[in-house]
Amino acid sequence: MMNLANRITVTRIMLTPLFIAAVIYGRMDIAIVLFAAAVISDGLDGFAARSMHQQTFIGTILDPVADKILLISAFICLTLIKSVPENLRLPPYVPIIVISRDAIIVLGSILIHVVKGTVKIAPSFWGKLTTFFQMMTIVSILVQFKYSCYVWNTATIFTVISGVDYMLKGSQTLNENNPNNRRKV
């Protein structure tokens, strides 16, 4: 049986196709409501998990997956869909950087799991800041904020910084307690 926190997360995943459809059909008013509901649900599932002691292994996996499904879908849509005004359409480098970072993190996590037998999934400060600015990028485009380019460029910078941070932490994790890395005197 699925707990409340995981149900909220699954609901967020199910909001993604509705969000995409709203963007495709140029219904930015509906898209912003759906996106806001998804963002609020992101906070609610974490709150429910902590306050009701419903933290589960599947929840630690589903939550970031739900975020990535929503964010990556939004970045792709807001780059390619013609219903988005051209001056607000994301330049291709933005989703390329966002998706590349996420792919590197996933591949790095798999590598750590294969080598170490386990992987600790925990968002970093840079990761949280990146997610915030990525979400603000989407909101700024949906509300047709005139200076959205400053928001998406900030998100892009933080995406690169957090990607480097995760790679450094991953490398450090792989090198911990590895007898082959000890210096010979």
Nearest to 89 by CA among 73, 75, 100, 106: 75
Assess if residue 166 is contained within a domain: yes
Assess if residue 183 is contained within a domain: no
CA 139 to chain centroid, in Å, comes to 14
Domain of residue 125 covers 4-176
Question: pLDDT (tens digit, 0 to 9) for every residue of the chain, 185 residues total?
Answer: 688 888 999 999 999 999 999 999 999 999 999 999 999 998 888 888 888 888 888 888 888 889 999 999 999 999 998 888 888 899 999 999 999 999 999 899 889 889 888 877 777 899 999 999 999 999 999 999 999 999 999 999 999 999 999 999 989 888 887 655 555 54
Assess if residue 170 is contained within a domain: yes
Backbone φ, ψ for residue 178 (5° rounding): -100, 110
Would you say 2 and 43 are in contact if contact means Cβ atoms under 8 Å apart? Answer: no
Assess if residue 182 is contained within a domain: no
Total number of domains in the chain: 1
CATH number at residue 170: 1.20.120.1760
